[in-house]
Amino acid sequence: MQYYSLNHQSPKVTFKEAAIQGQAPDRGLYFPEVLPAAEADLLKNIGSLSEEEIAFRVIRPYVGTSIPEETLFEIVSQTVNFPFPLKPVTDRIASLELFHGPTLAFKDVGARFMSRCLGYFLSGEQKEVTVLVATSGDTGGAVASGFYDVEGVQVVILYPKDRVSPVQEKQLTALGKNITALEVAGSFDDCQRLVKQAFTDEDIRAKRFLTSANSINVARWLPQQFYYFFAYKQWADKTLAPVVTVPSGNFGNICAGLLAKAGGLPLGHFIAACNANDVVPAFLQTEDWKPKKAVATLSNAMDVGDPSNFVRIMELFDQQFLKLKDNLSAASISDADTIATIQTVFQETGYTLDPHGAVAYRALEQYLNGHPGEKGLILETAHPVKFPDAVKQATGADVVIPEILQELMLQPKQAVELQPDYAAFKEYLTNG
């Protein structure tokens, strides 16, 4: 399998090269040259296959010869070694819970897969890779956990001091070993600026091989297809394809779902559920792409004003707006509606949504109101315990803290304090 750059100014590369580079030299996102069809017997027998078997067969054609099959199977087994239950909420809506991994958010799968692929590519190589990430919360935790103890990889995470939640901070700082957390006395934008500048700095590049672990990397993007196969496996009525609703920010997850569908997975209509950051819902109305500055909402992992994976979705639909509109709807849900949804769903069904899941739930409800014969599912991307204030405000009840978090909260914080100043950051990266 070869990958081409969506800017079309760089040579094609293998999965290995795409995973190591992240972005193409022309700054484009990599896209698979052919879209492999899902194997017919995989779809037919999916009910009797294990999660690791499904995941292996889905990802194998995308990896091609970059990783031997036995190794790939091992990587995949370590990636999906926790449950992905599809829970009925009402008789028309089910919730695919993607928050049972180590950091309680769906980014665990992508981060675990990518880290193990990089670990494999670098084993036996002389050079060490430094993964640089700026985080406003969830991404850093998933990357830290995913890359923890992976040989040949150093992880440096920049996070804004006092602006991540206590749980998120522990997920970034309590691990140690090959994970270093830099606590930046500034904002998320400061963190991102430092990281971006480092990537273009030849002095640093002479000393360290830098790569990024954000969702544009194919090794983080492609394994997200697994969720949609796991959903299909558990969807009882195979004669009625589910409407699939995805809480969306950078649009990597939903793009993976659309890719799975393009490969033949029998899913119904897709809905991109957004918060007040409504670039895509507006685009579907007007065909006018207008990136905006992100605004802060309760579903903060979706506070993205210029979703970088959307170019991949356009490519899936041959850059044709009408094709896109036939397959994808989008909705923008306010914070007030998010809270109201958590509240009503809790009161009427006993099910606790997190703010991201609630955005999806409301968007799906609106769609189903206009489509009486249909049923659907949402991807519930984060555990409600990660957003205790919003959930308590809506339900009046405390969320039970899972054991995995209780242990983490007892670990000491280890972080290097840093001023939001490039010279200081450069000194740290070049001289340790």
Name beta bridge partners: 157: 133, 181
Q: Which is nearer to ligand PLP, 130 or 214 (CB)?
A: 214
Q: How many residues does the chain have?
A: 432
**Closest to ligand PLP by CB, 173 or 250:** 250
Specify whether the CB–CB gap between 319 and 266 falls below 8 A.
Answer: no
Q: How near is the Cβ of 60 to ligand PLP at its closest, in Å?
A: 23
Residues that bind ligand PLP (CB under 6 A): 105, 107, 138, 215, 247-253, 301-302, 356, 381-382
Rounded to 10°, the helix 388-395/335-349 angle is 60
The nearest distance, CB 80 to ligand PLP, in angstroms, is: 18
Q: Which is nearer to ligand PLP, 72 or 272 (CB)?
A: 272
- How far apart (Å, rounded) are the C-alpha atoms in residues 204 and 122? 19
Q: Which CB atom, from 43 or from 284, has the smaller least distance to ligand PLP?
A: 284
CB 272 to ligand PLP: min, Å: 8
- Residues forming a β-bridge with 328: 270
Distance CA 246, CA 107 (A): 14
Burial of 255 (0-12, 13-18, 19+ CB in 10 A): buried
Between vectors from CA 280 to CA 114 and to CA 58, what angle results, nearest 5°? 30
* Tokens of residue 246, six digits: 């995805």
Rounded Cα–Cα distance for residues 380 and 364 (Å): 12
Alpha-carbon distance of 413 to 50, in angstroms, equals: 37
Considering the complex, state which of residue 10 and residue 253 has its C-beta at the smaller distance from ligand PLP: 253
- Specify the residue, 16 or 386, whose C-beta has the smaller distance to ligand PLP: 386
Residue type, 22: G
